[in-house]
Amino acid sequence: MRREKAQRRVFSDSFKRQVVKDIENGKASVAAVCREFSVSDVSVYNWLHKYSNYLQKGVKLVVERHSEMYRSMELEKELKEVQAALGKKQLQIEFLEMVIELASKELGTDIKKNYSSRRPSDSRVSKKRGSK
């Protein structure tokens, strides 16, 4: 019995470039291209290495745990936490200022001014104490 030779297919450079472009843009996967055009994955990866701007053969892509993207996500998370803490502190300040204002009205005196003028090292305070 004589075995029939399979017909050899040759794909044009423009076709290969288009397939590589589709894979790079996420429009197709290597497996999908292999199924659709009955091409081996080795051939598709060879096209990628030959025509891709990003997937060059012999170039290593080092992926670290603390990559730039990971670090920026961590910083965004930390920023949100700091903003939440800042908002909480701002609410506390506003609350305390309202309490001081209400207490000032209740006592009939400006607590902020009186508090800032009474210092132990103030000469007026020590003269008053000494005169009694």
Q: What global pTM score does this model have?
A: 0.40
Average confidence (pLDDT) per 10 residues, the chain, 132 residues:
72 92 88 92 90 72 67 90 96 94 89 67 53 47
Predicted pLDDT at 73: 86
Q: Which two tokens stand for residue 114?
A: 């009186």
Give me the half-sphere count of Cα atoms (radius 13 Å) on the Cβ side of residue 32: 8
Predicted pLDDT at 39: 92
Predicted pLDDT at 132: 44
Inter-residue contact 25 to 11 (CB < 8 Å): no
Inter-residue contact 34 to 44 (CB < 8 Å): yes
Per-residue DSSP letter, 29: -
